[in-house]
Structure formats: structure tokens, C-alpha cells
Structure 1
Amino acid sequence: MTEICYPKSAALLSVEQAQQHIRQAIKPIEQHESIGLTEALDRILQQSIHTPIDIPPQRNAAMDGYAFASDALIKNQATMLQVIGTSWAGKPFTGSAQPNQCIRIFTGAVVPDFADSVIAQEQITRQADQITLPENTKPFKNIRAAGSDVKQHERLIKAPKKLKASDLGLLAAAGIDKVQVTRRLKIGFFSTGDELTAIGQALQPGQIYDSNRYLLDSLLKQANHLVTDLGVIKDDSQLIEHTISSAAGKFDVLISTGGASVGDADFIKQTLEKCGQVNFWKLAIKPGKPLAFGKIDDCLFFGLPGNPVAVLVTFEKFVKPALQQLSGLYPTQALQLLARCETPLRKSPGRQEYQRGILRQISPGEFSVQAAGQQDSHQLKVTSLANCFIVLNSECKGVEAGEMVIVEPLDTSL
């Protein structure tokens, strides 16, 4: 096996160094497909889109009221106008008007060529077909110009971009019904370990239920992913080798949990030495010190630790940005906020820690956080209670109650 050429050192690799090595090894996929707007939410736009029309396509009223020509206004006096028709949304007024005439108009309705102003219906008084505009009525108000949102041929959306609901609304407003998006990533994942038992089966002595596959399956559920659960692979080097070698040609990404260390039963390392180009790192991160990353032919491989909280942390810090980059996006940084820590936090220097916390918004722009509980990497209940990571850098020796800390929200609804 020829390993990927990353620096080898006894020192632990920092989070940033590992992320940089991963970024340098990834080439975004180029294949794309054309899909309809109803299928496009959260897909990755591959080609920038320009509008074929003005948006809006004609001048229209910004509110319900009356459209008139400003030449009719009498300075410092109330102005009386005759109502001669109505412009409805979808049913424009097609007649002409004299300077002392106006039309009733509704929000979104086309403003006829003779009018350059719209007055809100609450500002006038009306008797039969006569309206009175108040003294000092301001002209040239409440009309949206054609192209006031986007002008014809202007770029609507720049690729690459993960399409959100407002993007699809914008595309529909331009009359665009299909988009070119990056094809879905094909992702396979599996767990390793003789101790793992499927849900629904009775636990035998020394066994635990496999939570990692359910955790990964949830983390990977996205519109631009095609995800396959490859099950639990026992600690058997031949089984692991067969799984990896047969799966590598079917997927863009393979993810394993467990067996990424160097114990006697950790067969991932020796298997990958036969199958691919993979580096094994010890990272300055807690939880999640052991990590494997590399390629098996054209398939990216991530070997994550076995403890479930370490799976969550290493997925968020390394796998998630890699999947974004592979899809053609620029990897994003997690949102970080400053919060006042309500509880003391224990930590030894040497590794960057992602402790699980409960974040609260005290007032707009002001946050507090407390530890969600004990911080062992097997404790999923604490992770279930948490809504953020408390990020403590490698030099940190602990935090006293009342100190400010950096947090990364896992949920933006506080």
C-alpha cells in the first residue's frame, strides 16, 4: 500500500490540520442531472441560473388603492378624481384615462401606462365614483417597477449552492421549472465489533446494542445523499476486507465505526493497508482521538471511533465538511457564539474538547450555557439532552463558572 503523503509525527494532529489534509484530498464530483423544482429542495445547484424575464414582469401596485397621474394633483389643495375602472391582479385595466380620472387598483395588479402613482385606499374619501385625495398627497408612490426584484438576464442564483425554499420560489417567479444539480452522493456505512447486537435481539453477556448505525443513518439523511446501511461486520479480517473491497466500487464514500484504533481486534487498519491508500491519525480532539481517512480507488473512506459521542463529533468536524466539498460546495464552518458558562468545566490541556452543553438565550444576543452532564464519550443521554458543543481549545485547563466560552449550536431553535 502507498499511503497518502501527510506529515507523520508522534505529535497529535490538530483539528484544523486534519481538516486541511482532508480538503486537499477531495475532488468534487462532476456528474449532474436535471430535475424539477418540486424535487430540488436541498439539492446542490451545479450551474448558475439567469432569469429570462423581468421580475416582476410589469409595473404593479404595492397595495390596494387608486392609480392616477401625478399631473392631476393640485398644490396645497385636496384633489378630486373620477373613478373609471378597476385593475385586478391578473385582470389589468385596458382603457385610457383623462388627467382628472383614476382607477381602482389592487395589490399586484398591473399599473396602466397613464398612471405614475398609487395612493392607499385608507388615505382617500370616496362618494359614488368620485374620490378625494388629501392635500399634499405625495406622487410617485406605491408602484413596483418591472424588474425591481431582478432584471431580465440578471443572475438569479450562483452555483454551487444548496437550494433552499426561497431559492425555489425565486426560480418559479422566473418561470424556470428545471435545474441542473449535482448527482446524489452514494454513501455506505457499517459498524464493526463482535460485541454489537441488532435491536430486537436479546443481549448476551458482553454485548451492547449497535447505536452507531442509527446515529449515522440520521446524520446522513439529506436530499443529496443516497445512503446504504451495510450492517454490522464482525471482528473478522476476511469479512471486513470483503465488505470494504466489494463496496468501494459502489460508493463515493464509505464510513465505518469502531476498529479504527490499533488493538488486536481492530482490523480496519490492516484491511485498509491491503485495499487502499489510508492514513491513520491520532488527533488532538476529545472525544474522537483515533481517525482513519483516505481512498480505496475512487472511494473516500472514513474510519470513525467506536464510542457514539465520538462518532457524532468526528462526523460533524470531518465527515460533514468533506461531504459538502465532494458535492461541490465550499465546506462551511460551524456557527460559533460566546456564552457565559453557568457551571465549572473540567479539562486537561492537550486536546481540543467538544463538551456537550445546554445553551439558553437570556436576551437577544446574550447567551448562557451549562454542561449537559458527564462528558464520557459513551454517554448518549447527555448528548440527547444537549443542544450545543462547548468548544474548549487544547491549551484550556478548565473553566470556572461565570467565564465566557465558545459554543457551537446543534439546534438554532433555543
Structure 2
Amino acid sequence: MVAAELIAGSVFAGHQIERRLGSGGMGTVYLAKHPTLPMRVALKVVGAGRDDPEYIALFRREAQLAAGLDHPNIVDVKDFGEEDGALWMSMRYVPGGDAAALVGTGRSGVEASRAVHIVTEAAKALDYAHEHHVVHRDVKPANIFVAPGDAGADRVLVGDFGIARRTDPAATQIDTGVRTFTAPYAPPEQRSGGRVDRRADVYALGVTCYELLTGRLPDAVLADRERLPAGVGAVLAKAMAGDPDERYGTCGELAAALADAVRAESARAEQKRRFGTRGRVAAGAALALALVGAALAWSLRADAGSRASTEPTGAAGVSPRCYFTTEVPTGDGYHVVLPTTNDGGRRCILSYVDSHPGGPGTPRATPIEGVRALQDALRRCYQRELADSDGDYSTATGLAVLYVQDLHGLDRDGVFGPQTSGAMRWPRYRDAGGEFESCVPIGPA
């Protein structure tokens, strides 16, 4: 009879043992050299219960079921047999460890995009097994192996079909009476000894995904405290529904819904970042500033093309800094309508007080033409929907300017200043008739 523990350097069934990888209810797994091929394999040897006919039946069935599944995301069986009264099975060795090890490296799980990739690849393997009438029945991070792949993407393989079960009507089932499963990942019907189908694996994959994203199992207490985004939480709640009929029909459906939810959350986060954080000054900011200076210099010379109004001044001495506009040629037969400033181009605030220098209760005699030009650019060139009436600078226009600043990687140079002006794509018009033609960056004549 084989020893309870194989030691490094020993030979078992022709395999030279290198080290112990792990153990579970269905045996101990070793890293070993294949007897004849230049490769290393994961060698599973039945440990505790090896003299129990029920465990022996389960082990043989695992080898037969796994050997019949040929899929790039399933750990393939190389060989199996019996040695000194002990059953063994050699499988592809997957360097890099399993998903359980990934969860253990951080307190809050793995990055969402990586979790989606792992779940998606595992779903491919499980759906393939289901199509071949095999339900895994023990899906968990420890049975999902993650190895370095091409171009940095994880290579994901599902293994350990130790308690898998055939579901096709023609299959002859051997009910050994052994109820081996990992309780936190098993659906209610499996824990109660009821009939299971592919939706049991959907449930377990949902629990696995929850653990990948949060670093914890979804028990009732933690679930109430967890801060998963609403869309992601809804996907996992459906996957882990107590009633199998309320779950996703396939693991692939779960993976697709998860990917959509994570993408939607990422889009919301990006939008929040753009409108709620300071942008960084782009490498081309200096060039943009130079273009603004050139455009402003042109505006000082282009008196005939300039539409200027007398600068109003209120009792408090507040003066609008963006009050003038000028037509700047950008090519033969084309021009842009560009806001200019009365403070040397330092910045333009465009606030309500600027628009109403006498105070909020003072009627405004003339619109701020610079605001009109700005709003026209935001609508035409950046497809921003603005609720502001022309010439009024309020929340909608302000948020749209922040969008442009973050889009171009600009610092917040006032609400609207020379760096932003230099980066903006102002609408271009035909000289004859003023028809809108295209959106181009501003520049000197």
C-alpha cells in the first residue's frame, strides 16, 4: 500500500514526485515529472478513504468524465490507473496557482476587469461541459486555475471534476451516497440532496464571482455591508437566487450580464471623474496657449470684423471678462467666431454676476457674445446638450466646459481660460452666408 504522503524525489506509478501542491476530499495532488514525456503534470493520488469503494467509484468517474471533455478551458487528463492499491490520475499542470490564491492576495478581491475575464473563461468551460451532459457541482475559486497567458491576459482553466455528474437521460448513474461539496458555493437544492442541473454551476459561479470582486463570501451579514455597484449586485443576486428557475440559464449568460454591468459602472465612474476631478495639463498645453495668443492678437487688429459693445460696469465695479467676439479667418473662405477678453486673455469667468454687473436683479442690456460662441462650440463640436439660453452661463454650460477641459487633459484655468480656448474645436463657418461647415481647433490667421 502506498505511503500516506509521497516525498520529493520518490517515484510513484513512474512519476517522479517534485513537491506537494495541495489536498482535498478526493485526494492529494503533487507536482511530478511525466514518466515518458518531457513535461510536468499534476498527479492526484487518492488519500483518505482510498479503501472506501464509494470514493474509488467517485475517483474513477472523475477521470472518465474529465477525459471525455476536450476544451481549452478545461484541465485535461493525461492518464489514470492504480498503483499499490492506490488510484492515481495525471493532469495538465497549470503554473500560476488557482483563483483562491488571487483572492487571498488582497483584502478587497481582484480588479473588476480581471474578475470578469476569469468568470467569462470559466463560463466557457462549464457551458461546454453542460452541453456534453456534465455538471461540475463543485465550482469554486480553488478549482479555477489561473496561469499567465499571451499578451498579459490570464489563461483560465476549470479542473477537479471529482463530484461531477452526468445529466443525459441515457447515462447510467452510480449513486455512491457520498455528499461531497463545498457548502458556501453549493445551491440549496444541492445541499438538501435534491436534483441538480447546470443551474447549480451558475449559482456556484455567482458565488465565486462575488468572492473574486470582494475578497469575501456572500453570507447574510456581509452582503448587507458590501458596497458592490447596484448593477453588479443585481447580476450576482440573480445568479445566486434560491430558486433555480430565477437564475441565469447558462454560465455564459451570467458572464455576459456581469461584463455589461461592469462596463456600465466603468462608464459612470469615468463620467464622474471627468466632471468631478481636476484634469492634468496636457503636453500640448503650451502650444494651445500660443495659438490663443495668436488669435487674440488677430482680434486686436480685426476691428472691422469685431462685434464689441460698450463694457458695462456695476456699482460694485464688476466687469465681464468675456464680452467681445471676433471673426478669425482660418482658411480661404472660412472663419471661426472666437471669444476674446478685456483682461489681456488671462482668463474668462463668465459667471452670472459677470453677466449682470449691477447684481442679480439688474436687467442685462446685451448678451455676452463670447458665451454664445462658447455654447455654439459645445453644441456643434462636442455634442453637448445645453439647457442654458444663449448668452447665459449656468450649470449646463459649466459642466460642458469641465468635460472639454478633462477631455483635452487641461488644468482648470478659471472656468474658461486661454488653455481651454486654445484646445477647443470652435465651429467653422463660411465667410459667405455664415453657414456652419466643420469643427476645427482655433489658430492664427
Same fold (TM over 0.5): no
Choose between structure 1 and 2 for higher RCO, CA contacts under 8 A separated by at least 6 residues: 1
Q: TM-score, normalised by structure 2?
A: 0.24
Q: Which entry has the higher C-alpha Rg, 1 or 2?
A: 2
From the two aligned structures, give the one with the greater strand fraction: 1
Q: TM-score, normalised by structure 1?
A: 0.26
From the two aligned structures, give the one with the greater helix fraction: 2
